Structure 1
């Protein structure tokens, strides 16, 4: 039973799983199921090992069995799968993501290899138990190959990395030209360090699809005496006006590209910030990047019938809610509440926030949002004829929990005057 659950766990862990396209579940939901199936794999494996140990102890053949190859490989598989638990705890994933990623791959492979030789030395190919290993290994290998193929053939680009001004190096901005991304993309910077295989998820904050910078055609020099009624000064002024118009077109039209904002922590974000700091005076560096993705969330069905969108963001969580707000068009109403500690991050995103024509934006600098007051205003003071409200939250785990608890409490107490749907954009690993 443990190996059967491994097959399903591998399916749920795959970023390119066909189930993501056939269902309306988000990748975070699949990862949640992956973790719970992993718990069952550990429980079944430990029970199997303990029961065999007790059996051979009781019937007196323990000393003969422990030197058998199948027993040794069974121990390898059991130890590997048990070691997956402490190395996959949330605190490890948050603080030592590289350790979690590397240990997860190595220990999973050890478990599969140990299982295979455990079965082969015990039964050979007589009972078909090895088939589960082939299926699990095939799923894992195919998914890894598909990731690599996407990165090599479609994901090779150049990224511009710079520190966000006014944030004391706490935030970085990553711009990648020539690619339109949505949701979450996994970025790999092969020239950043010796761990060439590492790629990390980043939320796409901005993405443009206008296809390139449009340059106004240069005005042709006028022939002599073409406008004899105009003075030379007037003609020169007209040419200057045309040049100014061309500059406006250049500034107002963006090329195709995607932008990410990230908070500098340990690991890859710290390396990117250090490279940008040491690069030049303007703290900007250009690096080769391989892109795996993008993987956009499946939340359209939850928000399709909502007549208003309420976004609550904390810090760099603004990057996950901006794509939702960018799609808000009248008569649908949008509202953004954003709390951040750094004014520089607000200034960096000011052009995008100002461009949200049908969205009211309220920011809190250095202070917490009054979530209870916000939800009371949107859920209890609103007109019941306004229709369902879509609530999207992205920020610290405590913020998401508070939004969920406050909205649920208001509903239980009978204060809400409209239905609502909650989308938690906390991308968990």
Structure 2
């Protein structure tokens, strides 16, 4: 159950399940554990009653008290604080309470069974948790860095400098966890990396002189800049949007990778800022079929700089569907070689055409990958279900 929500869950690669799927499985395991704990408690109470023993003396025994407290802790863990509306209302409170209650539950389990039964499975749980925390620490980028947050409408474009190296960051499907200390000390959010830049900067020193505050040392250093496109939802992202155009301290943990073995014949669908995940694959594959449903002009603004950095051919297979496209935006996109369709994206028609093209040639492995809000993914899922022999992958993004 702990491994299911570990950041570095190696079963993701082994099973090819997504992190979201493992998160859902974690909830299922939690509810199943609660069910068996309640059944265990009821059966043992029935056993004591059948023997004609009094329950009073049991309250002086550590194993009994720990068992009762552990069952109540599991009821609380899987109960009110963990339902969806409670998590969304105050995720930071939920997360802190969830971690503390889990630590307490592990301790109670030790007390409950240590006197009689084997505890190797408990030590295994502690080891998995400890290794995951150690891996998170190792993947952290060290001290916080000063990021540039730009706002247009309901979209945030965040540029975060990180140290040199980290070749993993340049691979498609990467995401990192970001923490904003001035907004929250605990809460971290996963964000797909929309772009990675190599930057050469000149080292400057503070002279302490108001007339010439900074002095060029003549030395240069290289670092990477990670670009994220974020649509504020609630909590930290909403608070970040409220800061406006500013600089903000950011702590970076990662990178982590979506273990998605996509075949060559893959069609990508994206909506809104969900295009961040798709763009990485287009650049790594030097092109590919991709359809992007744009609802607002700020979505285009968020990716304009990244489009300009793309190499020739990387955006040849991209089709942008945006009924409200302005002439100025259309001219800029056409100069970059991007195709434009001033109508709504019709996923079923695109897939039907793709299916017909596949029938003309040799049929190999095929897949569809989608990233966007839940309603958009629902439509993608229904359309792909109508096709035979097509794998489907998805990633949820905010609207």
Determine whether 1:70 maps to 2:63. yes
1:81 paired residue number: 74
How far, CA to CA, are the matches of 1:30 and 1:54 in structure 2?
36
Q: Secondary structure at the match of 1:15?
A: coil
1:299 paired residue number: 260
1:310 paired residue number: 267
CA offsets, 1:114-143, max 9 Å, x none?
2122224xxx2x432x33222212321232
Please provide the CA RMSD for this pair: 2.9
CA offsets, 1:128-174, max 9 Å, x none?
2x3322221232123223313432xx343424242332x1xx22122
1:107 paired residue number: 101
1:357 paired residue number: 315
Task: For structure 1, list consecutive stretches of 5 or more residues without a partner in the other structure.
Answer: 1-8, 215-253, 278-282, 412-418
1:48 paired residue number: 40
Count of aligned pairs = 347
How far, CA to CA, are the matches of 1:312 and 1:21 in structure 2?
23
Post-superposition offset of 1:101: 1.7
Conserved in 1, the CA contact under 8 Å of 2:294 and 2:320?
no
1:245 paired residue number: none
Q: How does 1:393-412 map to 2 (within 5 A)?
A: 393-411=370-388
Determine whether 1:177 maps to 2:134. no
Question: CA 1:131 to 1:296, structure 2 compared with 1: closer, same or farther past 3 Å?
Answer: same
Q: Secondary structure at the match of 1:143?
A: helix
Question: CA 1:347 to 1:18, structure 2 compared with 1: closer, same or farther past 3 Å?
Answer: closer
Post-superposition offset of 1:258: 0.9
Conserved in 1, the CA contact under 8 Å of 2:139 and 2:255?
no
Q: TM-score, normalised by structure 2?
A: 0.77
Q: How does 1:23-42 map to 2 (within 5 A)?
A: 24-42=16-34
CA offsets, 1:161-204, max 9 Å, x none?
42332x1xx221221123553511011222x14x4232221111
Q: TM-score, normalised by structure 1?
A: 0.72
CA offsets, 1:253-285, max 9 Å, x none?
x9632111111122211222223x2xxxxx121
Q: Secondary structure at the match of 1:47?
A: helix
Conserved in 1, the CA contact under 8 Å of 2:156 and 2:302?
no
Conserved in 2, the CA contact under 8 Å of 1:164 and 1:345?
no
Post-superposition offset of 1:346: 0.9
1:131 paired residue number: 120
**Structure 1 residue aligned with 2:301, among 324, 336, 347?**
347
Determine whether 1:285 maps to 2:247. yes
More helix by share: 1
Question: CA 1:378 to 1:42, structure 2 compared with 1: closer, same or farther past 3 Å?
Answer: same
1:156 paired residue number: 143
Question: CA 1:106 to 1:47, structure 2 compared with 1: closer, same or farther past 3 Å?
Answer: same
How far, CA to CA, are the matches of 1:100 and 1:60 in structure 2?
40
Question: CA 1:132 to 1:360, structure 2 compared with 1: closer, same or farther past 3 Å?
Answer: closer
Determine whether 1:262 maps to 2:237. no
CA offsets, 1:189-239, max 9 Å, x none?
22x14x42322211111113x46369xxxxxxxxxxxxxxxxxxxxxxxxx
